[in-house]
Structure formats: C-alpha cells, structure tokens
Chain A
Amino acid sequence: MNVRRIAISLFLLFATDFLVAAKACADEALTLGVFAYRPDQVLQERYQPLADYLSQQTGIQIRLEVLNQDNMSRAIAANRLDFFLTNPSHFLLIRSERSLTGVLATLVRRSGESSTASLGGVIITRAGRNDIEHLADLRDKTIASPGVHFLGGYQTQVLELLDAGIDIRRVNLIRFLGTHDRVVRSVLAGDADVGFIRTSILEQLAQTDPDLFTRVKVLNRQRLAGFPYVVSTRLYPEWPLVALPHVNERSVRKIASALFAIEPEDDVALAAGIAGFSPPADYQSVEYLARTLRVPPYDQMPQLTWVDALHQYRLWVFTILVLLMLLVASSLWLARSKRQLAAEQRRLRQLIRGWPQAALLIRGGLFSDTNQASVDLLRYTSSESLIGKDLAVFSPEYQPDGQISRQKLAPMLERVSAGQVEQCEWVLNRSDGKEIWVELTMAPVHTEDEPEALILCSLYDITRRKRAEQRQRLAASVFEYAREAIFITDNHGVVIDANEAYLAITGRPRHRGIGRLPPLPVDEGTGIFASARAQGFWSGEFTSRRNDGEPVALAATLSSVRGDHGEVSHFVGIFSDISRLKEQERKLRVMAHYDALTGMPNRVLFADRLQQAMALTRRQGGKLAVVYIDLDEFKPVNDAFGHEAGDQLLVEVATRMRSELREEDTLARLGGDEFAAIVMNVQDDASLESLLVRLLARVAEPVWVADHSVEVSASIGYTLFPQTGDLDGDQLLRQSDQAMYQAKHQGRNRYVRFSAPSS
C-alpha cells in the first residue's frame, strides 16, 4: 500500500517536473531591450550578435529590441521586455517606477585595446568657434543634447556647468534631438553652438569619419590617465544590464553567467564594441547626480520632513531659535518692564492722587497735575480750575512777611528748578475768600536730562496750627503782661510758674517765688487748696506780707485744673494788690462817719453808735444818757475873728469835752456849734450831773484863738434811756434837743433834763 503510494507520488512528481521543463524550453523566448542612444540600425547591428550569443549559451531564445527611451519605458510597463540595457539615468527612472531584480552586470566598453566601465560627458563645439573656449563661454549659447534622460549626453554636462556657475537649464536654449549622432551633426552643421554627447561617441564616429576630431573641439577636457576617451566631465559607471522581476531566477542566472563569460576578444564583444560585462557597479553616484540636478526620477521636490530640514539646517535653525528665544525673552522682559513701569506710574499717580495732602505738579511754573486734596484744600470743585495756573493766582497779593507773593515765588521756583528743595509757610486764598496758611514744600522731580523742570509741590494746611499758635501767643502775653499776678501750682500747691506781676506784688525774686507756696490767707492757709479742689475754685481777699515785710492786701481766685482722668493736676491762681483800694475804702468810710474838722463822729456815726448803745443797754439792763450840747455866743466869735478862729475854737472845745468823757462814751459834732454825746452805764443822776457840770466848766474855760482869749459857754439838754415808752434813737436825740432848748431859754450855760410835757 505504502510502496504503491510512493511510486505514484514519485511518478507524478517527475511528470510534473518534466512538463514544466519542457514548457519552459519550448516557450522561453526572452526579449532584450537595448536603448537606442545612437541610430537604431547601428544598435541593431551591434547587439544582435549579443542576443544570438545569449540564445546560444543559455538555450533560451533571446530577441533583441532596440527602443528609444519612451518606447522602452512603455514596453517595460507592458511587461514586453525581460531584460534591458540602457544608460544609468534611464535605469534610475525605470527603477523608480517599478521594482526590479536589480542590475545583473555593468557594461565594459572597449576602445581599441583599452576598456572602461566608466562613462562621462563630452562638450563639443565646432573647431572654428574661437568664441567658445571655456565653460564660461557657454552662457547664452544654443545647446544640442540627445535628451534629458541621457547621463553622458546631458546630465553630466549640466552638473559640470553648474559647478562652474552656469545653470544652463535656466539661461540656455537646449534642443533635444533624441540621439548623439544628431547632436554631432547639429553642431557640425552649425545649428547648435554646443553639443552634449557621451564618451565614446566621437571615437565611434571617427571610425567612419577619420577627420572628425579636426572639425570638433572638446571643451573642458579632463586629463584622466588610462581613460580611453576624450571627456569633459567627471565619470560615472557604464550602462547596467537589468533583469525584470518576472523573469525566473534560473534564466537570470544563465544569462548572467553567459554575460560574465564574454571575453574582450570574443566575436560577440568585438561586434558590440564592448569588452564584456563586469559585476554590477555602484550607481549611487548617478543617483546623487540626479538628485543634485533634480532630474527625473528626482525631479519632485523631496518630501522634506521637518526633521530633515532640522538636520540639514540645524545651525541656522539653532541660530534662529536662539535669536527667537532671545527676541521672545527680550520681548517678555520688555513687556514685563513696561507693565512694571505702567504699574509704577499708576502707583505713583495713585499715590499723588490719593495722598490726603495736597500735591501738585508744576511744569514750566504752571500746575500740570493736581490731586483731589489740593482741589479740596482750595475749595474748588475740579482740578480743571487749578491746572494751567500758577501758585500766585491762589495767593493774596502780599504774604504775611510783607513780600509780594509773585515776587517771592519766582526766585523759589528758580532754586527748585536748579535742584534745591524749598520749604516755607505760605498764605493762600481759598475760592470762598478765606485765607489759609499752608506749609509749602517744592521739590524737583525731573531728571537731569529732562529739558523742562518738573516740580512736585505739596501743601500742608497749617491754618489750625497757626491759629493755635496765635492763641497761645495771646495767652502767653496775657500771662506775661497781666497786671494781676498769675501763678500755676502743682497739685500740692507749690508754685511751678508765675508771671512778673506775681513777683512784683509778692516782692519775691523769681527763685524764691517758684517752688514755694503762694501767699495764703492767714486764717485758712493751705485750706484754700482743699476748697478749690472740692468746689473747683476759691476766692477771697486777705492780707499777706510782701517779701520785705510790708503788708499787702490781696484779692485772689484759685481754680483747680483737672487732668485727663478728672484728677486735679494743677491749680491756677490769680490775685491783685488791693492795698490802695482798701486804703481808699477806709478813707471814704472815715469821711462818711466823722467830722472833718474835729475828727469826732458825725451825725451818721452818732446815730449808728446810739443804735448800738441802746441795744447794748437794753441787753445789759443799765442806763444811758443822750446829751445835746450847743455852744452859746459862738456866732460872735466867728464874726469877730473869722471862720479860722471859729474852727480853732470848735476843735479846742471838742477836745476838752472828749477828755471829760470815758472811753465807751461817744462824742459827735452834729454840725455848726452843736455836739451830742452818748454816756454809757449811767449809775445815777448825781454822777451824770457831775459829768455835765465838768463839761460846762471845761467849755467855759478861755480859749486862745487868733491871738485872743475867747470865752464861750454851752447849753446842755439831756435825756435818759430806757424810758417807759419804746423809743428810737431819733426820739432820744430830739428829747435831748428839746431839753437843750429849755436850757437856752433858761439862760444858757446850764443843763436841763428832758421832761415829757405834761399831758
């Protein structure tokens, strides 16, 4: 069973293999496309032997097809070719359009005995063209070239010229003629000034046209030892022979080994003008060329990612980045500084605007900015009223020191502009007409490089302070110049300050006046402080002694001064010297109660004394007598010797009568020659009458007046108190007066007791 199965399997395997192989051999006819870089028949002639050779060597029928580039591309696109031989540039183009198995071999070209696997470009012109000697002469010349995709016929020259600084694709007229032969013909015919062809073309043409080299001139000829052709450019690898991917690997291997087997001396090589094939060359340099020139397939702008660009231009990118960062950083820094500056300005403005004191900016002598406080200070409604005006506008014509405001202001502004700070007191007129005192400060706020002076002017209202100062000065002057003594004590009553009047009145020098108690009433002493403490003040009059011992009458008021917590902290006292006042008072009192001539009490005092005596007698239960005395014959004395003498007489008589009376008795002159006396404690009638007798006797004694001895007598009436009825003083005096009249009637120089008229 197993054996049978294996046998069948093996049979099937062999059969299949055989069938495939047979089919391959029978069907295999591969097409080799060759690029017609020269006329088709030339290529056909040369490469047919190669196709035949390959057919023969590989047992595969190889058909040769000579195609121009476009047709070859189309044929490849249609898979009609299996191998192709073309120039490297065209190969790159095809490779970019479809994947290939790659290059099988690189053509090695032969020239005579030498060979090369390199090709380059040749730049030719006609031999007679003396105007074209160097690459630089190619500018604006007509150029003939076989085509863009020709490596040696176009691209190598373009690169060489690009290196020399000429981009012929921009500046030159280029005719694309399809083959190298046409290019050479065109140049020789003069249709084109310059022709681009690949290496080996001239040498090949020269085989049939021996004097060709005398008719053409090769430009930019390179000296390359061992290179068999004339060449104008750098070299690149020769043509590749390429297999398309659909060709099976065995065929490819066969073809490749057949290609490498070709020796230079073989007929096939000789026919094709080649030395054989070498292993595939590195076509990187051609790629680089195509990329540099941006020719197909690298004619599209490469998709440059930003990473590539970054890599390519990293120095620039880095520099620009750094610059950008610097720019951004400096912008940020600037913006920040600007913000800070703006904030600073706002803050400054806010500071000035919101500052509770008046502040103004002066530019060029005029207010340029003001704050609300200054507007309020001057009692205006808005800063518009101030801006544009100068300080003198708001000042009275004269300042308190007598200077004219404007004249005083000008030099100040000048000094401030020069950098100084000015400060003074200033009087301003408010809009309501009231004057206010301000402390004016002006300071420069401009920097040195600013052409115009900017001055900050601040006004501080000191009106209240000024008024307080005035009040204080006034108070001080009151204290200083008052006629009254003013003193201040501590809460114990010790004087801590006193004015000049105090020292003058007390007669104390300052060092003895301060630090001691003030003059105090003798009876109360320091008790007045207690009174002042209790009642807030004490006032009174008292007598004190001056420092020199003189008595002095003082009228004083002491007030307590209370501190913050209600406790008495000081006492303030005022007193004045009332000694003179007291003296005058005393004199007036004397004048009212005493007779000016005799010094005896007058009628008023007598009445007063009588009142008192009656009260005393009533209380003690004794008796008193009221005696009325009238001088007899006084008028003749007056008439004879004059009033002077009369007065002398009266004084003498009064003095004698007084001397007869006791201390407690009173003698008064009632007027003219009338006297009255109060005799106290009358024991009995006898003693009274004895007194009356003595009085009469004393009066009757001669008196020496005006150099004369005069004799007068007296008539005396008297009455006693108490009596049965309730009597007043006047009634008593009238009773004694009536009694005196009785005595007059009875013959003068006698005394009569009042006796009530019998009813």
Chain B
Amino acid sequence: MQRREFLGFSIAAGLSAAGLPGCSDSGPLRFGIHPWIGYEPLYLANDFNWLPATVALQPGSSATDSMEGLLSGALDGAALTLDETIRIWSRGLELVVVAVADVSAGADVLMVSAGIDELAALKGRRIAVELNGVSGIMLLKILEVAGLGPNDVIKVDMPVSQHAEAWSRGEVDASVCYEPTASVIESLGGVRLFDSSDVPETIFDVLVVTREAAEKHRRPVSDLVGAHFAGLQHLVRNLHDSVYRVADRQGIDPDEVRSALATVMLPDLAANQRYLTAAGPIESMAGSLSRLMLAEGMIDRDPAIQRLSDASFLPSRVP
C-alpha cells in the first residue's frame, strides 16, 4: 500500500550515479521491491523459496527507495508504476518492462464532497493531489476524461497520506487518493465519483530491469519473472492461504487483503503477453503518459522511450 508514498528524491544523487554499472557479473540480480498488493506474488515466491539464488530481493519501504536504488546503480531492477518508470527514463536510465504485476481497476479513486456529482463540476475546485505520484497521473486522466484543462482546477499538492486530514479541515473539495485514505474520506462524507476502473489499462504496476541487465543477465531476469508468476499462481489458487500471508506482511486484516485484491487486476501469463507486445498497451500508454507528464512539467525532458516492453522473459508456462 505504500507504493504511493512517493517523495521527491535527490536528482543530483540520481544523476551522479546513473552511469555506474549495474548488476555485477558475479552477484545476483538486485531487485528492489516495496509493499503493494500487486507485488505480493514476488513476496510469496520469496517466502516459499521459489526465487533462485540468481535473484536477490531488496525490500524497501516505498517506491522512492527503488527509484533511488536504480539511479544510483545499487539495483538492477525494481517493481514500479509505469509513470515512475517514465520518470527514471527521463533521467537518462533506460529500463525495460519485463512483466506487468497488476493493473489498477479501482484502486485509485477520486473522492469528492457531496454536491459534486459530475466531473465537469470539478472546475474551479480545490483538489488534493500528490503530483509527483500516481495520484498526479490519475488527476491528469480525470481532467482528460472531464474535458478540463490543467488550470481549470486548483491543485493542492500534498502526499496522499495527508489528504484525509486536509479533507477534515475542509481545505479541499476533492481528493485523488487510494486505500486506505479513500475509505477514511468516505467515512468523512466523501463520495467516490471516479476510480481507475473508469480508465482501464492506464495505471500499471510493472517489474522493470535496467537495459543492461536485460541484455547481459537474461537468466536472472527470467528467474525473477518466473518466480513472480509462480507466486501469482499461489496467490490465485491458494487464496485461502495467501490472504493470511499477505495480511501478515502488510500488517492488515485478511478481509482488507481481499478488498484490496478486488481493486487490482492481476494479469496472468497470457495477459502479460498481450501487454508486453511491441507497440502494445504498455508502450502506447507509456508514450501517452510521457507526453502528458512532459506537458505537465512532471518530467524535465522527453524520455524518448523506445523498446520499453520485452515479453521474452515471460515463462512459457507456469508449473
């Protein structure tokens, strides 16, 4: 759940380390991961020792850790959202999407105060948003669907974790957030007006590796992707077991795990094949997102993304 706790990170540190070599030839593939329901298959695989010695998971607390790790060269890959991937590209580090962990289908929500009953009514309203996170992307999509310009609304930039407080203080009329903040705001009288299920196949959580790792360390990358799908199979097939394990790791109730799982789509192998084809959904979405982000000033320069997705690491079948 903490993937959205995205904080600004040191550009200088990132840039200075971007050129450093990645995965050392001898060591395992260092893969950054942080708690998020879509990344649970990898955690499960790790728990069941399904990750070969060629891959070493480097758990972090948030996406920030993974991004910094990638830019500093401490990591060879990480679990990130697509927009985070674009941000790293725009800083000059080429990444390759080797698997789609999940697609948001309702996890990201627009909460509005009572009285706003259509998107167009957002015009001129104060909207709490974390511009540097997936929440920012969600807002862009919302405005796009609403047919509003970027300046038609007043963006109140703050971390999602603070949205509930701001709401309760009456500082904002709407909030682009996700669970559990969404539930809190709902309990404060907020109404779910729009969620990511309305913009299908937009918010992707993906497994990425550096271009270097994808080209020079194919075996570890394949092992990583294989482990993800093994974990995914356990998650889906042994839901009776996995909800407890996820709940244990995330420190939440098993029922909350079930409801969290309901807000994401976990694409299986076939769906991944479809997503990762050249010029497929991932690449086209990355293209449109990067244009959007560039226009919004979320990234400094056009990442000129090419050959982003690579389906060749997907296993032919899951055991």
Q: Can you give 14 A-B contacts (C-beta < 8 A)?
A: A163-B49, A222-B244, A222-B245, A224-B247, A225-B251, A225-B254, A226-B244, A227-B244, A236-B238, A238-B240, A281-B240, A282-B239, A285-B237, A285-B241
User: Which A residues lie within 8 Å of B215 (CB)?
Assistant: none
Give the chain B neighbours of A227 by CB distance below 8 A.
244, 254
Distance in angstroms from A263 CB to nearest chain B CB is 17
Contact (Cβ within 8 A) A118 B240 = yes
Assess whether B237 is in contact with A224, with CB atoms less than 8 Å apart.
no
Query: How many A-B Cβ pairs are below 8 Å?
Result: 49
Question: Considering the complex, which residues of chain B in the window 163-189 have a beta carbon less than 8 Å from any beta carbon of chain A?
Answer: none
Which residue of chain B has its CB nearest to the CB of A235? B241
- Give complex CA distance A282, B238 in Å: 9
Chain A residue nearest to B241 (CB atoms) is: A235
Residues of B246-299 contacting chain A, CB below 8 A: 247-248, 251-255
| B248 and A224 within 8 A (CB) | yes
Given contact pairs A163-B48, A226-B254, A285 touches B238 in the complex (Cβ within 8 A): yes
Partner of B241, one of A120, A163, A238, A284: A120
Encoded as 1 (CB less than 8 Å from any B CB) or 0, chain A from 151 to 164 comes to 00000000000010
- Of chain A, the residue at the smallest CB distance from B239 is A282
A117 lies within 8 A of chain B by Cβ? yes
Taken together as a complex, chains A and B put the C-alpha atoms of A284 and B253 apart, in Å, by 24
Chain B, Cβ-Cβ closest to A281: B240
Instruction: Give A233-261 as 1s and 0s: 1 = Cβ < 8 Å from B's Cβ atoms.
Output: 01111100000000000000000000000
Whether the Cβ atoms of A225 and B239 lie closer than 8 Å is no
Beyond the given pairs A163-B49, A235-B241, 20 more chain A to chain B contacts, judged by CB atoms under 8 angstroms and listed by A's residue number, are: A117-B240, A118-B241, A120-B241, A224-B248, A225-B244, A225-B251, A225-B252, A225-B254, A226-B247, A226-B254, A227-B254, A234-B238, A234-B241, A235-B240, A236-B238, A236-B241, A281-B240, A282-B237, A282-B239, A285-B240
Chain B: CB-nearest residue to A117:
B240
Binding site for A on B (CB under 8 A): 48-49, 237-241, 244-245, 247-248, 251-255
Name the one of A120, A163, A288 contacting B237, with C-beta atoms under 8 angstroms: A288
Question: Using Cβ atoms and an 8 Å threshold, which residues of chain B touch A236?
Answer: 238, 240-241
Q: What residues of chain B lie closer than 8 Å to A120, measured between beta carbons?
A: 241
Cα–Cα, bound, A234→B48 (Å): 10
Bound-state CA distance A288–B319 (Å) is 11
Which of A120, A234, A281 gathers most chain B CB within 10 Å?
A234
Q: Mark A268-307, 1 if CB is under 8 A from B, else 0.
A: 0000000000000110110010000000000000000000
The answer for the CA separation of A597 and B221 in the assembled complex, in Å, is 150
Q: How far is the CA of A285 from the CA of B251 in the complex (A)?
A: 25
Q: B248's closest neighbor in chain A, by CB?
A: A225
Provided the pairs A225-B252, A226-B254, A227-B254 are in contact, do residues A235 and B237 lie with their beta carbons within 8 angstroms?
no
- Contact digits for A53-91, partner B, Cβ 8 Å, 1 yes 0 no: 000000000000000000000000000000000000000
Min C-beta distance of A590 to chain B, whole Å? 133
A238 to B245, CA, bound (A): 17
Query: A285: which B residues are within 8 A, CB to CB?
Result: 237-238, 240-241
In the assembled complex, the Cα of A59 lies from the Cα of B255 at a distance in Å of 35
Complex contact B245–A224 (CB within 8 A):
yes
Interface string of A691-713 (1 = CB under 8 A from B): 00000000000000000000000
Task: Decide yes or no whether A223 CB sits under 8 A from chain B.
Answer: yes
Q: Are A235 and B48 in touch, CB under 8 angstroms?
A: no
Q: Which of B237, B240, B248 has most chain A Cβ within 10 Å?
A: B240
Question: Of all chain B residues, which has the CB nearest A284?
Answer: B237
Q: Interface code A211-239, partner B: CB below 8 Å = 1, 0 otherwise? A: 00000000000111111000000111110
Cα distance A222–B47 when bound, in Å? 11
Contact A237 B237 (CB under 8 A): no
**In whole angstroms, what is the CA distance A358 to B46 when docked?**
84
Nearest CB on A from B45, distance (A)? 13
CB distance from A664 to the nearest CB of B (A): 146
Within 8 Å CB of B244, what residues of A?
Answer: 118, 222, 224-227, 235
Considering the chains assembled together, what is the distance between the CA atoms of A236 and B242 in angstroms?
Answer: 10
CB distance from A577 to the nearest CB of B (A): 112
B202 vs chain A, min Cβ distance (A) = 29
How distant is the Cα of A223 from the Cα of B254 in the complex, in angstroms? 13
Shortest distance in angstroms between B192's beta carbon and chain A's nearest beta carbon? 26
Contact partner of B238 (CB less than 8 A), chosen from A222, A225, A235, is A235
CB contacts (< 8 Å) of A225 on chain B: these are: 244, 247-248, 251-254
Q: Which residue of chain B lies nearest to A223 when distances are taken between CB atoms in the complex?
A: B248
Task: Give complex CA distance A285, B240 in Å.
Answer: 9
Q: Across the interface, name the chain A residue whose C-beta is closest to B49.
A: A163
Q: How far is the CA of A547 from the CA of B241 in the complex (A)?
A: 141
Chain A residues with CB below 8 A from B240, complex form: 117-118, 235-238, 281, 285
Most B Cβ at <10 Å: residue of A117, A225, A282, A288: A225
**How far, in Å, is A709 (CB) from chain B's closest CB?**
161
